[in-house]
Amino acid sequence: MTESRGKLIVISGFSGAGKGTVVQGLVEKYPYSLSVSATTRPPRPGEEHGKAYYFKTVDEFMHLIDYNGFIEWTNYCDNYYGTPRRFIEDEMRLGHDVILEIEVEGALNVKRQYEDAILIFITTPDAATLEERLKGRGSEDEPTIRKRISRAREEVTLVHNYDYVIINDELEQCIEEVNAVVLTEKNQYQNRVALIDQIRTELEEI
Ligand code: 5GP
């Protein structure tokens, strides 16, 4: 069978929309490769180096930028975050679909470089639910929550750049909807050109 290059699936959403949980559910249930970002943000309780993030000092992060180690990076709420280049490229070459969970600016940056990346935005059904979830998480203080809500006000003006908007009301349903979108995208004709060419050749030979 024709091996095609893996897809890049970029998942963003307001802080508190639950996109981390959605992504976790997706990789547990389906064979996606998950990109682990680098960040200068301090670890939250329970977050492990190499799993949640690669935790870096600002100097280490700057060094990686200098060496072209990121496909994109940004400063989000006073911390740096970046997507490591090598993992993404290797996985896609192997035909694996790679999920990036990154914020809006980074997502748009990725789309500029990988135009067939699928951009999916996860939202709560409304803003009140968002605020409730941010407060309920208990891991951020009030000023940080305010900062994240004000960031959501900026992000909402950029959602029109996404290919899909999926509501995270019921977690399992949201996971299934994201997976369905990816399957649909992969079955589009332009992703099947090589396969059809191969079948055309095979048909000549039988
Ligand atoms: P958190 O601090 O809550 O883990 O992440 C804050 C924001 O940074 C989230 O919206 C998350 O998706 C985003 N983020 C995580 N890693 C990256 C990355 O590598 N690049 C960009 N642009 N955003 C990231």
For residue 77, the ligand 1 atom closest to its alpha carbon is 6
| Sequence-separated (6 or more) residues with CB below 8 Å from residue 12 | 19, 101, 102, 103, 104, 106, 107, 119, 120, 121, 122, 155, 162
Among protein residues, the one whose CA lies closest to atom 11 of ligand 1: 102
Amino acid at 19: K
pTM score, two decimals? Answer: 0.92
Rounded Cα distance between 44 and 47, Å, is 6
pLDDT over 80 at 1, yes or no: no
Among protein residues, the one whose CA lies closest to atom 15 of ligand 1: 102
What would be the CATH architecture of the domain defined by 8-35+97-205? 3-Layer(aba) Sandwich (3.40)
Q: Is the CB of 82 under 6 A from ligand 1?
A: yes
**pLDDT, tens digit (0-9, with 9 covering 90-100), for 10-33:** 999 998 899 999 999 999 999 999
Q: How far is the CA of 101 from the centre of ligand 1 (A)?
A: 7
**Sequence-ordered strand ranges (E) for the chain:** 8-13, 33-34, 38-39, 54-55, 70-76, 79-84, 98-101, 118-123, 164-167
Banded pLDDT at 99 (limits 50, 70, 90): very high
Mean pLDDT of all residues belonging to the chain: 94
- Specify the pLDDT at position 183: 96
- Specify the pLDDT at position 68: 96
- Specify the pLDDT at position 83: 98
Rounded Cα distance between 169 and 195, Å, is 37
Q: How far is the CA of 188 from the centre of ligand 1 (A)?
A: 29
- Specify the pLDDT at position 162: 98
Domain ranges of the chain: 8-35+97-205
